Amino acid sequence: MKQLILRVSPELHQRIVARAAREGKSVNAWVSQLLDVTVDADVAQDRQARADAKAAALGMLVVYDDIPEYDEETLRQGEEELRKLAPEALRILNEDRSTGL
């Protein structure tokens, strides 16, 4: 294990300590994880891997391990239902836009 000495402002240090505490991690663990995903984002070969790494660095990546596989018929039915809902969703969005929401 290598050490990395880093100088940061007192304000940044406070924010790092607070963020690490919110996530239940030590400052070292939190910074190590941040550096790891940030470097991964930089060297990732495909767009999705870079996007995932950046989202993870921002604390915005959610990984679901238990996503079920669906058969073709279930997927087709889902797409059909989504198409039925699309006009209503577009109407609501347009209504919101016209009222400034």
Indicate yes or no: pTM above 0.85: no
Tokens matching residue 83: 């198409």
93 vs 46, 63, 82, 96, CA distance in Å?
A: 33, 29, 16, 5
pLDDT tens-digit profile of 46-81? Answer: 777 778 777 877 778 777 777 778 889 998 998 899
pLDDT tens-digit profile of 17-49? Answer: 999 999 899 999 989 888 887 776 666 677 777
